[in-house]
Amino acid sequence: MMNVRPRINRWTKSRRDLIFGNSLLSSLVQPHFVVDGEGIDDPIQGMPGIHHQSVDMLLKTVEQDFSCGLTAVMLFGVVASHHKDPKASHAHHASHLLRAVAELKAKYGDDLVVMTDVCLCTATSHGHCGLVDNGEIVNDASVEILVNIALSHAEAGVDYVCASDMMDGRVTAIRKSLEKAELTSTGILSYSIKYESSFYGPFRLAANSTPEFGDRATHQMDIRSGYKEAILEAKLDESEGADIIMVKPGLPYLDVLRKVSENVSRPVAVYNVSGEYAMLMNATEDELSRQRMIIEVLTSFKRAGADIVVSYHAREVARKCWLK
């Protein structure tokens, strides 16, 4: 059993290029919302250019993105309302998500870095990131379910499972289960520093994951909390075996991103979230102004120390060759 396997981030050329390549383009990750069905390609309200896609349509979009130099994707499995329940039962056999992973890997192999979000909120009927008992979000029992979800993604062939739930101890638990299953080249990207932000609104509509009651304040970080707690979370995740540390959201937390990047030894990712995307996309109709704003925002993440930038802007930037 090994807790930390530094080789994971070097395992494929596409992983090395994503993490260590020193261009903005090579550090971009494009998020996708995957739904069950066929021929589905529905625009998501509030997120111009981003669609709900079934696996067949996803493959076409990734093909075009890939040819423009985008070599990393982050997949969110959207679970239909009638499949949701209090225990997120559908999350670890969300067949469309597993099919998306398998088909992308069959087509691109090691040339594409495939990441998947691991959380309960898209599959729970109450929309919380963990199991709820007596009105409280319980920790350890939720971790057991997260482990099963992560394992199912790992078996389907993902490069990185991305734990976004903010339960304590989940990186240790996922790492142990990957070791036990001998999936020793599967990485863990941890949403280590995830704030209880108001910038997740469009995403929650897209993923149908708005909490039915209460909020995420007992697990996501308090927006007033500074870099000390951020570094605590990052260091914990490093010691538990996270291969990549993520800070989320991006723009309101550039200070935290800078401090974290100076204090950890694993690569650091930042998530330029849905609300940040919507805000910028609504700011102007003029394409040249938008181009300049997007480049300025993405550059700020690199300047603040991000190795990897997850952003809904990735596609437009790549397809229009704005970085060339």
By CB under 6 A, name the binding residues for ligand PBG: 117, 119, 121, 129, 164, 200, 203-204, 273-274
Minimal distance in Å, beta carbon 110 to ligand PBG?
25
- Select 108 or 220, whichever has its Cβ closest to ligand PBG: 220
Residue identified by tokens 């090579």 is: 26
Shortest Å, Cβ 166 to ligand PBG: 8
The nearer residue to ligand PBG, 108 or 200, going by C-beta atoms, is 200
Which is the catalytic residue, given 194, 228, 235, 324?
194
Selected catalytic residue, list 180, 248, 259, 320? 248
Q: Is the separation of the CB atoms in 196 and 248 below 8 Å?
A: no
| Closest to ligand PBG by CB, 108 or 206 | 206
Q: At its nearest, how many Å lie between ligand PBG and the CB of residue 98? A: 18
Burial track 159-197 (b if 16+ CB lie within 10 A, e otherwise): bbbbbbbbbeebbbbbbebbbeeebeebbbbbbbbbbbb
Half-sphere exposure of 13 (CA within 13 A, CB side): 4
What residues have CB less than 8 Å from 53, skipping those under 6 apart? 32, 33, 34, 35, 40, 41, 42, 61
Nearer to ligand PBG by Cβ, of 55 and 119: the residue is 119
Query: Does the annotation count 248 as an active-site position?
Result: yes
Instruction: Compute the least distance from the CB of residue 254 to ligand PBG, in Å.
Output: 17
90 token code pair: 């559908």
The CB-of-288 to ligand PBG minimum distance in angstroms stands at: 25
Residue with smaller CB distance to ligand PBG, 167 or 318? 167
CA nearest 34: which of 115, 113, 108? Answer: 115
Pairing of strands 132-133, 136-137: antiparallel
Which single residue is written with the structure tokens 């993520």?
A: 246
What residues are labeled active site? 194, 248
